[in-house]
């Protein structure tokens, strides 16, 4: 697995990480625990060194902690704070005392002495970002946290936080069907030397081609509440899947080459900046192997231009969050 460094921080990780949320939270029933542990360990064995979790993902930190216990010192674990009582439905809470409480709890759940990367999950308008950065800075000085990160933060917040405590990475959604970070976020990250960790790099599964307008999600799957996953939006957005599928099919006609739509979507992300590290998630071993295979796929300049030209003509339909979740985005 190729390695990448997140910005100017010296924080080196595998070119593709693993988003662990879906094993416990958000996408229907949690995966069977032993299966999930074996999947995370399989990711390590295949070269993944960045694993992403959060206090808000139910029992996910405990799962990740147990799975990665045999690999201490070999992998990096990122987790997050920022919700009242760790529950997104209860609102935001980034008071310094709460940040410290979450850090102590996460250390116990993850079975580590130090959190590699500690993100603010969402910006809390009741707490100045300078206080948040200062609280994490204190934890870094105490040896309980190594690096500070932000999630879904806007340009102003990034600059203000970075002035207090250098931000190692920003985590936000970025993919072929959500390119908003290109407008203002990526230039600022490059200017400040901050790495970028895109979540949902496969459009919450849509860009794999495994979802269409007739797909039925489990009742507990949060995609049921996402406007972009309404059946009519999925039908309209099929043009994106057709685009990556076309590139994949063209590559697969080459000798000894089998490329999937998911790999094209991930390879496109990797081609945007050398300090981008996507964190696709999955509960299936064959999908894990497929995703990691994208690290070795280098799209040609012609292919990148073809994708870029096509994207300029494709309008993506549907908001990416329900209204309540959208209100928590710092833009």
Query: What is the C-alpha separation between 35 and 30, in angstroms, rounded?
Result: 11
Measured CA distances, 103 to 79, 91, 97, 113, 289 (Å): 9, 18, 10, 11, 32
- Helix H or strand E segment including 304: helix 301-311
131, 58, 126, 127: which is closest to 88 by C-alpha? 58
The tokens describing 25, both together, are: 């939270």
303 C-beta neighbours (distance < 10 Å), count:
18
The tokens describing 82, both together, are: 């920022």
- DSSP for 95-133, please give it: -HHHHHHHHHHHHHHHT-SSEEEEEESS--TTS-HHHHH
The tokens describing 124, both together, are: 């809390």
73 C-beta neighbours (distance < 10 Å), count:
4
Measured CA distances, 110 to 40, 80, 167 (Å): 14, 12, 22
To the query of whether residue 174 is one of the catalytic residues in this protein, the response is no
| Tokens 């000085």 belong to residue | 141
- Contacts of residue 232, defined as CB under 8 A and 6 or more positions apart, other chains included, come to 213, 317
Catalytic residues: 57
């Amino acid at each position: 697995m190729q390695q990448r460094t997140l910005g100017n921080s010296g924080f080196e990780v595998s070119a593709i990480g693993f988003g662990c949320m879906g094993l416990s939270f958000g996408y229907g029933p949690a995966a069977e625990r032993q299966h999930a542990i074996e999947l995370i360990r399989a990711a390590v064995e295949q070269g993944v060194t960045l694993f992403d979790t959060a206090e808000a993902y139910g029992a996910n930190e405990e799962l990740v902690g147990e799975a990665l216990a045999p690999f201490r010192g070999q992998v990096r674990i990122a987790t997050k704070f920022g919700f009242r009582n760790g529950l997104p439905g209860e609102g935001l809470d980034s008071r310094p005392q709460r940040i410290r409480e979450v850090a102590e709890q996460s250390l116990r759940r993850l079975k580590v002495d130090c959190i590699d990367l500690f993100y603010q999950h969402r910006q809390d308008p009741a707490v100045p970002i300078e206080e948040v950065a200062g609280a994490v800075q204190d934890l870094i000085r105490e040896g309980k946290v190594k690096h500070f990160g932000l999630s879904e933060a806007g340009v102003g917040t990034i600059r203000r936080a970075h002035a207090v405590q250098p931000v190692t990475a920003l985590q936000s959604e970025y993919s072929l069907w959500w390119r908003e970070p290109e407008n203002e976020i990526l230039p600022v990250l490059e200017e400040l030397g901050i790495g970028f960790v895109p979540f949902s790099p496969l459009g919450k599964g849509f860009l794999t081609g495994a979802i269409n307008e007739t797909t039925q999600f489990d009742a507990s799957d949060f995609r049921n509440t996402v406007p972009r996953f309404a059946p009519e939006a999925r039908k309209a957005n099929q043009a994106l899947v057709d685009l990556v599928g076309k590139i994949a099919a063209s590559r697969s006609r080459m000798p000894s080459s089998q490329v999937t739509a998911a790999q094209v979507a991930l390879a496109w992300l990797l081609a945007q900046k050398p300090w981008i590290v996507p964190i696709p998630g999955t509960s299936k071993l064959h999908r894990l192997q497929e995703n990691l295979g994208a690290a070795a796929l280098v799209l040609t300049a012609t292919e990148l231009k073809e994708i870029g030209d096509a994207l300029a003509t494709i309008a993506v339909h549907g908001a990416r969050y329900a209204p309540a979740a959208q209100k928590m985005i710092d833009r």
